[in-house]
Structure 1
Amino acid sequence: MDVTILSLTALSILITASGSITQDQGHVETLTNCVVKVLQELEYLKYEKLIDITVMNMNNDLQLSALHKMAGMRFISRRFLWDTGNINNAIYIVMSDDYQELANGLNKVTSDKFWNPSAGFIIVIQKMEENSLNDVTGLLHTYNIFQNVSLISRDGDDYLISKFNFSKPGSCLKSGHLICWTRCSEYCSSKMLPPLNMGSITGCRYKFLAQNLWPFTNFDSNIRGTEQYIMALFQKHYKVRIDIQEFTKVNKYGIPVEDQKQIMLKKVKNNEVEGVVGGYAINDAYSGNISHSYPMTIDHMFYVLARSNYTEQWVAVLNQSLTTFLVIGVIFIIFCVASICLSIFHTRKDITGNVLIVFGYILNRNFVKRTPSGWARTFIFSSLLFTGFLIPYTIQASLYSVTTRPARAFEPKHPTDLKDYRAFLYTEWQRKHEFDEYTECGTRLNCLLLVKNCHNKTIFTVVSGVHFLVHQWRLTDNHCQLVMYRLKEPYVSIYRAVYFRRGSALLDPFNDFILRLITTGIVKKHSFDIYHRSQLKCKPIHQPIHVALPLRNFSKAFLILLAGYCLSLLTFICEVYMGSQNNS
């Protein structure tokens, strides 16, 4: 009797378990078909031959097998607790038991360097509580996941598909909520599906942080910085509201902290603000849950040094014209010796006359009569005469060039000339470690003024060309003459951009706007206006000193002088020729 009872009990348990297994297999098959159907209708497959799909927490072999049978897809299967890797994802298939597991998992995977909230999402939640749909809506908004989302949740023997719907077409994206759209059974049977309202960024309000860094941002007056100007044009074009708030964090002594940029970026990563502006450069060090826009401008970091002092006039003459004087002196000696040895005149007492010829002395008729004939001697005589005229004019031109262009002491022209120079670098710069020895000097302006006012000229700083131009009026003397210069060869080129939250709805529209804006030249015009306005701030304290003009401004005078010299030489040759003809 007992054996019969035990046998019947075991049989009933086996039948119940078998029915449960059959029912679970039916649910798995329904869910698998639903996921495959949603995946096949995503727009990504229409434009790409191979799609990277990340599968999270999917442990069912039937589901994995069905997915891997789909052509044109490459699957990466992982748990929520994965190590950060460089995976480019276009579609995510996320499996979770309940809302809490989904929230904890998304909080971890956002650390992936190539985490892509703009991808297509197929999210499966097995146990949906009564208010979980609103919680999931808020969770997806937190991580900017609302552009292409299909939420599949268990509902009895079937599954529900929920999608984002907006109150009206074109309303702000953040006003969208997940609604129950259809059932998987109806979706897989290709029944008529209810329409969905698509959203846009129109009417949305976004918060950005920025530090007060002229000329990119300005919170001291009504004049907009370049990046503020771009953001104003963008919000006017797309009809969005962008609030740029100044961020200043100080220590207990009221001094701004050094890592303000990193603090602002951390707020973006934590989804506290939409993005940051204010002179940010595209940098690999800025990683995490953030994305940068296309470059708005290309900037260059330059070596900036103080001008050396002017040298004394005769020191400049010796430094710049010593070679010229030596060459002229050698030519003078050669032709003096030639004139003596060739004996153009018959007696030795005519050596003085030969020397006078070299100095350009116009011969009188007595000398002309005693000049021997012959083409060789005529050529030598003409060469002596030409050189005699050339020497004084060359010396005068060289002296005039030196005195009209004041010369300075040695100034480095190439980075290799800075071996014995010491670097003074502003605190925020992240490339300070590339210099063997350097001294921090605070802000960019403080570094520029330090180099300007330092009596020791063997120091330099490195700032961007933009900051050098806007602070140029502070780097002048009492006559508004620039006392600093930058090397022509830049230290490094950088790309200025705006940083957004990863997957921000503003990113793609902003990139399209930047591509169109740059081609118009509006940003360049606004930047030039800022630079010109800065230059006008310089007011001379003393009367302007005489500024020597460069030698090229006297080119016409030298051409007239050369023409007169040639005419005098031609006249003299004619006199010599006519005198020779008369003597013969």
Structure 2
Amino acid sequence: MLVVYLITFVLYHSGNCFKILPTTTYNENIFQCVTSIIHKYFTEGSVITHVGNNVDDRELLQAINNANIITMVSRQAPIKLIIPHEAYLISAYNASHFAKNFKKLTRESAWNPLARFLILVEELKETELNVIFDTLLRWQVINVVVVKSTEDPLLYTYNPYDNYNCGKRYDTVINYGKCSHAHSLDLYPEKAVTGLRNCTLDVVISHWPPFTIVYSRDSNNISSELAKGLEPYLLRLMGETQGFKVNILDDYDSENISTVSSDMRATGTLKKLQDHEVDAVIGGMLLIPSRALAFSFIDGHLGYIDEIRFIVKRASFMPDWKYLYLEFNLTIWALLILCILLYSVLLILLLRPKDKTYVVFWVLESLILHGRNVRSRQSVKYVLILWVWFSYFMSTFYQSSLVSLTTNPLEDFQISTEEDIAKYKLKPCFSKVMGVYYIESIQSNDEFFGSAECSDLLDSVKSVMESDNLYTIMQYGAYSYHKEKFYDQYGRPRIMSLPKPYSKVIYATYVDKGFPILHTLRCQAFQLRENGIVAKILKDMYYLQRLKHIFQAKEFRGSLLIPWRVYGIGYGISVAIFILEIICHNEK
């Protein structure tokens, strides 16, 4: 029973390896061959990752360890690493076993096809070499040597960039011959010497103007060079200098946000890239951590040129009747009423009239500059003239403020900061794209669940425009491109972006790991930005978009400052008081 437990333990801990059975036996020539290759070509890196059965390969690993030339680590599949592997030592039983299990490596965050690979296969026929190299070609692994386990090991490789094959096919399998005779050969030469010259890249785009444009209706008034947007144009510029062409493929499902799961499985347009259906994905693709772990990218041309901003509803104009009291603030109105009361009391004490309301009404009508002859002593007239001057100044200031309000109408309170959003308890209305970005930005593992009316980017903005308690976030570049769509017929914006951004963003062109001349393309993309080409094209596209929108000139429409409702209420009160005075007079 103890033996059974021991065997079960060994099999369990070898479950992440390529092979378990049968047991491998290597001869001394294999140890010497592998050790010499590692010593000559792998010492530049600090660590080499072993992928295989640690139990079966213990003699091989012991030989490498005794040589004391490099640090060996065993691949641990459940552990998520961020730093890519520097080199691989892979052992497999045969070609089919290798092809079946190699995909597991590519689903790791530390997967690095640009590293050097040394693959040791125990049972390998000449006709099965294509099985191994077809698998390596699919995942763009080119720095590789395959060692066939024989008495004197045989070495093989391939070059998918030979004869301008663009890394998509290979003509022949390169046979280095016996390992004992390969000391004078360069087993890991630079293979992508032709780069992407004479190649055609299949690039998929989604509708995300101004970066990419799919629908023909958004291509009106745009030159043929910019008909597909900013990013395809920049990619073609890079292609002119590097000698490759670009074939644009349209993806009409622009709102199907591409995500990457914890096991490096992509969705949306990035899934096409992961399935090797296309060579690159562009279209306002935000650079976020999960995508950066699963793919390579070019970001120098669109780094920090845009930002995420809060979008809120633009405050509406106040009703006309509110202008009657908005000229003065609450303090001035309170002081004015206090002055009226104090001065009325003072005049009543000085004039001592029979009808005290007569004095009060005279004080009020003098505020609207109505004249009246008041018989009084000369000393009292000095007091009266002070009130006349006060009434003149107050009336003049009130009328000038009223004119200012009618020519420059006031708006309701405008949400202008993040603190205002929290204070007035506005609810988020995020689209799918912005929802995923928000989850990534706060480094949360939760899934985003948005409402149906906010699922699309422009629909979320429309919902904010029609509601008083919603807000959203979006790229300022997309907002600048689409903002005229949310103007009224007179060209007045109905939404606005807050001046303080939520965050800066980086857009990227995503390619699969192992993409050639990546550093060269990054440098060239950075040059396009520094030369001002990116800013110039964006400016032109914003201008061409504005030409599509025509707004009406708002005709002059006079409005009575005192609304009919207020006028009717005042007239009714006056009639009621007049009738009440007549009744009181008749009773006397």
CA offset digits 1:273-315 (Å, max 9, x no partner) = 2232112212344477533333624333333233232114562
Number of aligned pairs?
472
Q: Paired residue for 1:95, among 91, 94, 97? A: 91
Match of 2:204 in 1: 209
Q: 2 CA distance for matches of 1:323 and 1:434?
A: 49
Q: Paired residue for 2:145, among 144, 150, 159? A: 150
Matches within 5 A, 1:271-350: 271-286=276-291, 289-294=294-299, 296-298=302-304, 299-313=306-320, 315-316=322-323, 318-319=325-326, 321-322=328-329, 325=332, 349=378
Match of 1:465 in 2: 476
Residue 265 of structure 1 pairs with residue 278 of structure 2: no
Change (3 A) 1:196 1:411: closer
Q: 1 CA distance for matches of 2:448 and 2:188?
A: 64
SS of equivalent to 2:47: strand
Match of 1:63 in 2: 60
Q: 2 CA distance for matches of 1:28 and 1:37?
A: 14
Match of 2:531 in 1: 520
Match of 1:34 in 2: 36
Q: 2 CA distance for matches of 1:463 and 1:35?
A: 53
Match of 1:184 in 2: 179
SS of equivalent to 1:210: strand
Matches within 5 A, 1:218-257: 218-219=213-214, 220=216, 221=219, 222=224, 223-248=227-252
SS of equivalent to 2:209: coil
TM-superposed deviation, 1:506: 5.3
Q: Is the 8 A contact 1:500 1:507 kept in 2?
A: no
Q: Is the 8 A contact 1:206 1:241 kept in 2?
A: yes
Match of 2:106 in 1: 110
Q: 2 CA distance for matches of 1:409 and 1:193?
A: 74
Q: 2 CA distance for matches of 1:488 and 1:165?
A: 53
TM-superposed deviation, 1:317: 6.3
SS of equivalent to 1:471: helix
TM-superposed deviation, 1:246: 1.1
CA offset digits 1:159-215 (Å, max 9, x no partner) = 233344478687634455541135321334x57999886532222222222222322
TM-superposed deviation, 1:115: 0.5
Q: Paired residue for 1:78, among 56, 70, 75? A: 75
TM-superposed deviation, 1:119: 1.1
Change (3 A) 1:393 1:62: farther
SS of equivalent to 1:321: coil
User: Which letter does structure 1 place at the counterpart of 2:182?
Assistant: Y
Residue 509 of structure 1 pairs with residue 520 of structure 2: yes
Q: Is the 8 A contact 2:298 2:522 kept in 1?
A: yes
Structure whose alpha-carbon radius of gyration is higher: 1
Q: 2 CA distance for matches of 1:322 and 1:196?
A: 78
Change (3 A) 1:289 1:412: closer
CA offset digits 1:524-573 (Å, max 9, x no partner) = 221121112222222124x33469xxxxxxxxxxxxxxxxxxxxxxxxxx
SS of equivalent to 1:489: coil
Match of 1:490 in 2: 501
Q: 1 CA distance for matches of 2:51 and 2:244?
A: 35
User: Which letter does structure 2 place at the counterpart of 1:236?
Assistant: E
SS of equivalent to 2:153: strand
Q: 1 CA distance for matches of 2:338 and 2:544?
A: 55
Q: 2 CA distance for matches of 1:91 and 1:193?
A: 15
Match of 1:544 in 2: 554
User: Which letter does structure 1 place at the counterpart of 2:237?
Assistant: L
TM-superposed deviation, 1:217: 1.4
| Percentage identity across paired residues of the two chains | 20
Q: Paired residue for 1:448, among 461, 473, 493? A: 461
TM-superposed deviation, 1:139: 1.7
SS of equivalent to 1:430: helix
Where does the alignment leave 5 or more consecutive residues of structure 1 unmatched? 1-22, 46-50, 250-255, 337-347, 362-387, 548-584
Q: Is the 8 A contact 2:39 2:69 kept in 1?
A: no
The runs of at least 4 consecutive aligned structure 1 residues that moved more than 6 Å come to 191-197, 330-333, 357-361, 388-394, 432-437
Q: Is the 8 A contact 2:211 2:231 kept in 1?
A: yes
Matches within 5 A, 1:377-456: 398-399=401-402, 401-418=404-421, 419-431=424-436, 438-452=451-465, 454=466, 456=467
Q: 1 CA distance for matches of 2:517 and 2:185?
A: 35
CA offset digits 1:338-393 (Å, max 9, x no partner) = xxxxxxxxxx95575577579879xxxxxxxxxxxxxxxxxxxxxxxxxx999788
Match of 2:364 in 1: none
User: Which letter does structure 2 place at the counterpart of 1:122?
Assistant: L
- TM-score normalised by length of structure 2: 0.68
Q: Is the 8 A contact 2:212 2:230 kept in 1?
A: yes
Change (3 A) 1:74 1:168: closer
User: Which letter does structure 1 place at the counterpart of 2:459?
Assistant: N
User: Which letter does structure 1 place at the counterpart of 2:41?
Assistant: L
Q: 2 CA distance for matches of 1:427 and 1:475?
A: 20
Q: 2 CA distance for matches of 1:437 and 1:101?
A: 44
Q: 2 CA distance for matches of 1:269 and 1:465?
A: 29
- TM-score normalised by length of structure 1: 0.69
Q: 2 CA distance for matches of 1:309 and 1:24?
A: 82
Where does the alignment leave 5 or more consecutive residues of structure 2 unmatched? 1-24, 260-266, 344-376, 439-445, 558-588
User: Which letter does structure 1 place at the counterpart of 2:268?
Assistant: I
User: Which letter does structure 1 place at the counterpart of 2:129?
Assistant: L
Q: 2 CA distance for matches of 1:36 and 1:194?
A: 11
Match of 1:120 in 2: 116
User: Which letter does structure 2 place at the counterpart of 1:95?
Assistant: S
Q: Is the 8 A contact 1:248 1:260 kept in 2?
A: no
Q: Is the 8 A contact 2:137 2:167 kept in 1?
A: no
SS of equivalent to 2:536: helix
Change (3 A) 1:506 1:265: farther
User: Which letter does structure 1 place at the counterpart of 2:28?
Assistant: G
SS of equivalent to 2:268: helix
Q: Is the 8 A contact 1:472 1:535 kept in 2?
A: no
TM-superposed deviation, 1:465: 1.6
Q: Paired residue for 2:134, among 128, 131, 138? A: 138
TM-superposed deviation, 1:227: 1.7
Q: Is the 8 A contact 2:210 2:229 kept in 1?
A: yes
TM-superposed deviation, 1:515: 2.1
Change (3 A) 1:540 1:440: closer
Which range is displaced more, 474-483 or 397-406?
A: 397-406
Q: 1 CA distance for matches of 2:504 and 2:146?
A: 45
